[in-house]
């Protein structure tokens, strides 16, 4: 592993010039730049990150704090963020708050690991932070971007949960459904307590706009898993007398559980019941699930762009503070008009 002096010697310049030529900070004549790059390549020189960081205060590394790693949404965001960081020459250091370590583990992340001067910025994925944790992040005086729930004092990125639920429900209404159930989130949802509320609000608003008063017995909370969706859907669909003709699940995993529940009840999807989810989960295609896709990989990449904008001011037009994240209704085979079709509006019986 040659050092910077070897490169300087070979290129016939000072180490200062090598540093400037390779990093792009400071002016170097074109010809010198070429000589330095050639020398570096020839020697296989790669800058020592600790030395560079110590001298410059920059680490070229971003810390990503996640509540779970092995869940589709998080790992997809990670995938997108990691790839975007790599393109920008940044490493991604992962701080999972999952493990068996529990409270101690979590505290050590905020009180030790993130304070080691190892990251230039922090990306926080949908995670409910205590005020103390939030404060230690802010004390870092480093760019922070959050994905998901609002974080006081932090630039965040999130989909419009009300709008997404509105879109999903309106799709069902547009097909002619009038009796639409919803599988939502528990109110004490661990990750972001606004999400369940907002998605339910969108659902209810869509119904009311269509002149339908939401029926409380058609709403059931679950835990965002396949199993939870299965159980809730079973409860909602079991009784033929109260059975909705369509189900809106606040996540694709719950929607998939609903599809399986419907089948186990002997109901056909979408013949007897239409089902729509939210996510665009990797398995939604296989299940033929109609869904509102939210593209988590792009969210990760997007968050990285925002961080890069803060890390390199002037690099391009600054990102506006609140970018609405794109979502897309993907219609597959789990939704269809109700059957029998609703009666056309008729004059009320005398």
Sign of CA dihedral 256, 260, 262, 268: positive
Could you tell me which stretch among 22-30, 75-83, 145-153, 261-269 binds DNA (CB under 7 A)? Answer: 22-30
The three-state secondary structure class of 182 is: strand
In angstroms, give the least distance from the CB of 53 to its own copies: 4
Q: Which does 26 bind (CB under 5 to 8 A by kind): its own copies, DNA, none?
A: DNA
Cα 48 to chain centroid distance, Å, stands at 33
In angstroms, give the least distance from the CB of 68 to DNA: 32
Q: How far is residue 169's CA from residue 178's CA, in Å, rounded to a whole number?
A: 10
Q: How far is residue 180's CA from residue 220's CA, in Å, rounded to a whole number?
A: 12
Could you tell me which stretch among 19-27, 68-76, 242-250, 320-328 binds its own copies (CB under 8 A)? Answer: 68-76
Of 1 and 349, which has the nearer Cβ to DNA? 1
In angstroms, give the least distance from the CB of 20 to its own copies: 19
The three-state secondary structure class of 30 is: helix
In this structure, what token pair is assigned to residue 142? 């480093």
Q: Does the protein bind its own copies through residue 130 (CB under 8 A)? A: no
Residues in the chain: 350
Choose, by CB under 8 A, the member of 21, 95, 129, 218 that binds its own copies.
Answer: 95
Could you tell me which stretch among 17-25, 212-220, 281-289, 320-328 binds its own copies (CB under 8 A)? Answer: 281-289
What CA dihedral angle connects 117, 139, 323 and 309, to 10 degrees? -40
In this structure, what token pair is assigned to residue 276? 């729509």
Pick from 149, 170, 153, 152: nearest CA to 161: 149
Binding site for its own copies (CB under 8 A): 1, 46-51, 53-54, 59, 61, 68-72, 75-76, 78-79, 82-84, 86-87, 91-96, 98-101, 105, 108-109, 111-113, 115-118, 225-227, 230, 257, 263, 282-283, 285-286
Binding site for DNA (CB under 7 A): 3-5, 12-20, 22-23, 25-29, 31-32, 45, 47-48, 51-52, 54-58
């Amino acid at each position: 592993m040659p050092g910077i002096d070897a490169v300087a010697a070979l290129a016939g310049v000072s180490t200062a010039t090598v540093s400037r030529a390779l990093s792009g900070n400071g002016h170097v004549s074109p010809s010198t730049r070429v000589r330095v790059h050639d020398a570096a390549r020839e020697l296989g020189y790669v800058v020592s990150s600790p030395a560079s960081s110590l001298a410059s205060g920059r680490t070229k590394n971003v810390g990503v704090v996640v509540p779970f790693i092995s869940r589709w949404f998080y790992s997809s965001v990670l995938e997108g963020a990691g790839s975007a960081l790599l393109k920008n020459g940044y490493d991604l250091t992962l701080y999972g708050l999952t493990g068996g370590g529990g409270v101690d583990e979590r505290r050590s992340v905020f009180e030790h690991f993130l304070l080691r001067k190892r990251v230039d910025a922090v990306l926080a994925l949908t995670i409910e932070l205590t005020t103390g944790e939030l404060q230690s992040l802010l004390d870092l005086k480093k760019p922070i971007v959050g994905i998901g729930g609002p974080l006081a004092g932090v630039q965040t990125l999130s989909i419009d949960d009300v709008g997404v639920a509105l879109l999903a429900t309106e799709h069902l209404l547009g097909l002619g459904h009038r009796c639409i159930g919803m599988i939502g989130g528990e109110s004490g949802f661990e990750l972001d307590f606004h999400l369940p509320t907002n998605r339910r609000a969108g659902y209810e608003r869509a119904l009311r706009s269509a002149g339908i008063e939401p029926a409380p017995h058609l709403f059931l909370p679950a835990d965002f898993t396949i199993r939870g969706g299965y159980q809730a859907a079973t409860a909602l669909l079991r009784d033929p007398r109260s059975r909705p003709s369509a189900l809106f699940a606040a996540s694709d995993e719950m929607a998939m559980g609903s599809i399986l529940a419907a089948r186990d009840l002997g109901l056909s999807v979408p013949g007897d019941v239409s089902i729509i989810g939210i996510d665009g989960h990797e398995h939604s295609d296989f299940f033929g699930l109609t869904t509102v896709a939210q593209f988590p990989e792009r969210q990760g990449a997007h968050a990285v762009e925002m961080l890069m904008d803060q890390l390199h001011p002037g690099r391009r037009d600054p990102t506006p503070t609140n970018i609405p994240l794109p979502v897309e209704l993907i219609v597959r085979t789990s939704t269809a008009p109700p059957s029998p079709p609703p009666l056309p509006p008729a004059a009320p019986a005398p």
